Structures are given as structure tokens and as C-alpha cells.
Amino acid sequence: MKIGILGCGNWGSVFGIMQHRNGHQVKIWEYDQERAQCVKDTRNNEPFLIGHELPAEIQIDWNIENTLCDVDLLVFAVPSQVLSGVIETLKKKKLSSKYYLSLTKGIEIKTLRRPSEIIGELRDAENRVFVLSGPCIANEIIRNEPTAVVLVGQDQTGTKELQHQLSTETFRVYQGDDIMGVELGAAIKNVIAIGCGISDGLGFGNNAKGALITRGIVEMQRLGVKLGAQARTFRGLSGFGDLVTTSFSEESRNHKLGKKIGAGTNLEQASREMVMVAEGAPTAKAVKILADRHRIEMPICNAVYDIIYEGETPIKAIRNLMSRPLRYE
């Protein structure tokens, strides 16, 4: 299979290397010309990918048309808040891909759209958009550590084909059928993971984190079901599985961001100190809007929003959560 990847960050690079090892032809687009040339010449993609070079057989290009040309699968590995800009560019191009695959996790603030909805604006994209999600710490994948993910799409024949094409000995792809649930779980878990990082930054232990994770799943499910997702999806790889991994991993950018904030750093400074985008920060805004609009109770997500955007102190936010009216689980 010929694969074109839009996005030369950590996940895009690792996904490309993994699929190159899997026997596929891979091309990766990097929007910055100078950086693309540097990666192409040196095969070094630091600081996004440390300790691993991109194989010489993987084509790196800043000219998006070269990446789009003659590919079977076009993969989106760009941040959620810039995805629509990429799609606007693609609308002016000739596309030959049989399938479109989203690796993006988040919700666009301006429109509250999920990544698959944004990609779905492409001409003839109906039934050709797929989503891959789950507990995917990229640096573990590149070390060939066991990983399981879920793949969803409206076309079950296409889903099955991609499942078999993308699976490897250490990267197991399951089929699913709930696009909305998978994408909402992937997005909201980043907000909860920031909350877990804040808890760690405050010096709290695993009791607090366990409470945040389990009650966070409840919040995911409340909003997801209201919007039309299946409740069981949030107990699967893209919900509970991804949330646990993201909340405990020291390599998780959302956990890192939360930990910095919990230790006293504000969002602006913490974001500057990080190399990669923590999707949970903008997603917190989108989740807040959705929860208010649909009158869904999401106290943990609201607390994260209040801390990073309203100036609430982390310790006060925790106290507010703990002093809520007592109720059945």
C-alpha cells in the first residue's frame, strides 16, 4: 500500500516508520520548507522524535502535492485546530486516495466539529473517512512494544481492509463501528488527562488519579450518549484504554501540561515549555461549550477549564470537586 502522511510530528513520524517496517511505501509532508529539507537531509526529526532516524526510503517533502500524488491511503496527523486549514488546501488539489485516515484527536473550537467531520468535507469523501484511535504512546510503538487500537469507519469493507493492512506483529488493530464515540473519547480523555497531571503536580497520589479516571469516564459517556454515541465505546480502547495510558504516562503531553500547571505554571508558560501540542487544552474549551449547550454535568472537565482559562487555583478546584453534594455512584 502507498501511504501519504500529512504531519511530520511525533505521531506522524512514528506511524510512518511503523508502516514502512510493515512493508508499505510511505511519504510524509512537513509544512515548513526549511525543516522538511533538514529532516530529508539528516533523517533526524528531533525534537519531535528522539533517538530514531527516519529511514531513507521514507520520502519527506514540504510540497503537499508530492505527498498527495499516487497514494492509496492519505493519513491526517496534524493538530485538530489546524486540520480545517489543511482541508481547505486539499479542496484545491487533485486527490487520488482510496481512503482517508484520521489520527487527529480533538474537537475544533470554532465549529465543534470532530476530525472526521472536517475531513468529510473533501470531495467524494463519503464512506471513505476512517479513524484510528486508542492508547498510542508513539515512543512505545517505535520500540515495537505491544499496542492495541481501534479502527472505525462507515464502510465495513474498507475498515476490514485497512485493519489487515495496518496491523503488525506488535500493533493490533480492532474493528469498531462507532465513529462519534471513538472520536469523542479520544478528545475528552485529553482533558481528563490534564486533570490527572494537575493532581500529580499538586503531589496527590493514585487514589486521586483513580477517582479522576473513573469519574472522567462517566463524564465522557454522559456527553457522548447525549450526542448519539454508544455507551460501550467509552469502556473500550479509545475511551478507558486511552485515558488510563494518557493519565499515567510520563510521555503523555497532556499529562505533562497538567503536571506543570499543578506545580504552579500557567497555561501560556507551560505551553511554551512543551515541544508538542497538548490537544486537551483547546479541547477543554470545546467540551465546555458542548456540555453547557446540552446541559450535561461534567464537573472534572469544567474544573480543568476553570483552572487553565479562568484563573481558578488547582487546589481550590479540587476542593470544589470534593465538596459537591453526595450521591450514588
Q: Is 148 annotated as a binding residue?
A: no
Q: Are 92 and 82 in contact (CB under 8 A)?
A: no
Residue 276, pLDDT score? 75
Angle of the 206-227 helix axis to the 280-294 helix axis, nearest 10 = 50
Q: Among 21-30, 41-50, 179-188, which stretch is predicted with the lowest mean pLDDT?
A: 41-50
Share of the chain above pLDDT 70, in %: 100
Confidence grade of residue 272 (pLDDT, cut at 50, 70, 90): confident
**Domains of the chain (ranges, CATH numbers):** 2-177 (3.40.50.720), 187-322 (1.10.1040.10)
Amino acid letter at 56? A
Residue 274, pLDDT score? 80
Edge-to-edge, what's the strand order for the sheet holding 59-61? 59-61, 25-29, 2-6, 73-76, 99-102, 129-133, 147-153, 171-176
Q: Is 279 annotated as a binding residue?
A: yes
pLDDT per residue over 156-173, tens digit each? 999 999 999 999 999 999
Residue 263, pLDDT score? 94
Max Cα-Cα span within the chain: 60
- Rounded to an integer, the average pLDDT of 264-270 is 89
- DSSP symbols for 42-85: H-B-TTTS-S-BPPTTSEEES-HHHHHTT-SEEEE-S-HHHHHH
Amino acid letter at 96? S
Confidence grade of residue 89 (pLDDT, cut at 50, 70, 90): very high
- Asked whether the predicted pLDDT for residue 281 surpasses 80, the reply is yes
- Asked whether the predicted pLDDT for residue 271 surpasses 90, the reply is no
Q: Give the span between the Cα atoms of 106 and 190, in whole angstroms.
A: 8
Residue 47, pLDDT score? 82
Q: Is 254 annotated as a binding residue?
A: yes
- Asked whether the predicted pLDDT for residue 275 surpasses 80, the reply is no
Active-site choice (2, 98, 160, 189): 189
- Asked whether the predicted pLDDT for residue 126 surpasses 90, the reply is no
The answer to whether 189 is a known catalytic residue is yes
- Asked whether the predicted pLDDT for residue 244 surpasses 80, the reply is yes
Residue 49, pLDDT score? 87
Residue 312, pLDDT score? 95
Three-class SS state of 150: strand
* Cα–Cα distance list, 56 to 65, 135, 248 (Å): 20, 28, 34
Q: Is 189 annotated as a binding residue?
A: yes
Q: Is 8 annotated as a binding residue?
A: yes
Q: Give the span between the Cα atoms of 152 and 182, in whole angstroms.
A: 8
Task: Quote the cell numbers at residue 261.
Answer: 500547571
- Asked whether the predicted pLDDT for residue 255 surpasses 80, the reply is yes
- Long-range residue pairs from 207-216, CB within 8 A, at least 24 positions apart, any chain: 208/318, 209/247, 209/248, 212/247, 212/300, 213/243, 213/244, 213/247, 215/300, 216/188, 216/189, 216/192, 216/243, 216/300, 216/301
Q: What DSSP state is assigned to residue 275? A: S
Beta bridge partners of 131: 102, 152
- Rounded to an integer, the average pLDDT of 282-305 is 98
- Asked whether the predicted pLDDT for residue 76 surpasses 80, the reply is yes
- Rounded to an integer, the average pLDDT of 140-162 is 97
Q: What mean pLDDT, rounded, does the chain reach?
A: 95
Give, for 129, the enclosing helix (H) or strand (E).
strand 129-133
pTM for the full predicted model: 0.95
